[in-house]
């Protein structure tokens, strides 16, 4: 790419993590290191560190929708993704704004829904109305959804304990309307490998990877979903983009580092060229 050429662009619709490990911060650094310009629609500002989320302020739904429509109308994008959407009102506004901006469904802009419905400790982040809005309004608009196993349980009621259960969960999730389902296996700690599962309603594709012995995995799900989104923005097919996301997050976890008192972030530093002086 020449210095003056416009790179592909991707939009993240997500919350801010003051600890810089997850949320829109993880999405933007992943986009950058994957060669994609990042656009942002902020949904919430969290007060958090490695000890937990201490407070949160949600952005007004009209402002969230306005951010989406503003960047779509002027700058355009080749893919979009969601992260934490905070409330049913915001989800409804996002769905309507995406329709107006021609994001998702059968449009040219693929929509990656990372259904951030549970915290890293497995606690629900939505009330019943928010979870219903996520399931009913966003999943049918998605080119792919990327739940972890806690989110699988919240969306389907299926408690996954092995790889066979991941297949059952993928089938149940596909019935909710997305074109593809990518079930992430990071929480399946009984499995010596970390084998994620991509499903299009006909074919299961396993995405194998090592399971690293590290506690520092904050932001791994965001990194995988945003790398997949970057792959789509760069013109990859869904299976290619899913493999690209798996490759990116495996390296990010392998290079994770301690930061703060508890769970540190996965790293995007491994994608940076060494400095020359």
Give 126's DSSP letter. Answer: S
Q: Are 233 and 78 in contact (CB under 8 A)?
A: yes
Cβ pair 203, 242 in contact under 8 A? no
Question: In 69-106, which positions are buried (b, 16+ CB within 10 angstroms) versus exposed (e)?
Answer: bebbeeeebbbbbbbbbbbbbbbbbbbebbeebebbee
Residue 276 neighbours by CB under 8 Å, 6+ apart: none
Phi–psi pair at 137, nearest 5 degrees = -100, -35
pLDDT of the residue at 123: 53
Over 176-191, what HEC string results? CCCCEEEECCCCCCCC
pLDDT of residue 2: 58
3-state DSSP assignment of residue 77 = coil
Question: Which domains, ranges and CATH numbers included, belong to the chain?
Answer: 9-145+218-269 (3.40.1190.20)
pLDDT tens-place values along the chain, 277 residues long: 556 899 999 999 999 999 999 999 999 999 999 999 999 999 999 999 999 889 989 999 999 999 999 999 999 999 999 999 989 999 999 999 999 999 998 899 999 999 987 656 555 667 789 999 999 999 999 999 999 998 999 899 999 999 999 999 999 999 999 999 999 998 898 899 999 999 999 999 999 999 999 999 999 999 999 999 999 999 999 999 999 999 999 999 999 999 999 999 999 999 997 888 7
pTM over 0.85: yes
* The predicted structure's pLDDT at residue 96: 98
Task: Select from 134, 130, 65, 132 the least CA-distant residue to 100.
Answer: 65
Q: What is the pLDDT of residue 127?
A: 78
Q: Which helix (H) or strand (E) holds 204?
A: strand 204-207
C-alpha angle 31-205-269 in degrees, rounded to nearest 5: 25
pLDDT at res. 231: 98
């Amino acid at each position: 790419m020449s210095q003056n050429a416009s790179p592909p662009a991707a939009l993240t619709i997500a919350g801010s993590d003051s600890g810089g490990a997850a949320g829109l911060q993880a999405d933007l650094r992943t986009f950058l290191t994957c060669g994609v310009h990042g656009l942002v629609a902020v949904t919430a500002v969290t007060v958090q560190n490695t000890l937990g989320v201490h407070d949160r302020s949600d952005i007004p739904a009209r402002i969230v929708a306005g951010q989406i429509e503003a960047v779509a109308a002027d700058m355009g994008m080749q893919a979009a993704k969601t992260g934490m959407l905070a409330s049913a009102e915001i989800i409804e506004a996002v769905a309507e704004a995406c329709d107006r901006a021609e994001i998702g469904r059968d449009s040219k802009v693929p929509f990656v829904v990372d259904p951030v419905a549970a915290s890293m400790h497995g606690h629900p982040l939505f009330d019943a109305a928010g979870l219903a809005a996520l399931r009913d309004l966003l999943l049918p608009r998605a080119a792919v959804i990327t739940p972890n196993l806690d989110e699988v349980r919240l969306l389907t009621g299926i408690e996954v304990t092995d790889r066979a259960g991941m297949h059952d969960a993928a089938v149940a999730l596909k019935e909710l309307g997305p074109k593809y389902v990518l079930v992430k296996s990071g929480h399946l700690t009984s499995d010596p490998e970390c084998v994620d599962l991509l499903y299009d309603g006909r074919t299961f594709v396993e995405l194998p990877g090592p399971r690293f012995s590290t506690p520092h995995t904050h932001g791994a799900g965001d990194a995988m979903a945003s790398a997949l989104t970057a792959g789509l923005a760069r013109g990859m097919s869904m299976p290619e983009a899913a493999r690209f996301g798996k490759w990116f997050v495996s390296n990010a976890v392998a290079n994770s580092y301690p930061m703060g008192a508890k769970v540190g972030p996965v790293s995007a530093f491994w994608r940076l060229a060494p400095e020359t002086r």
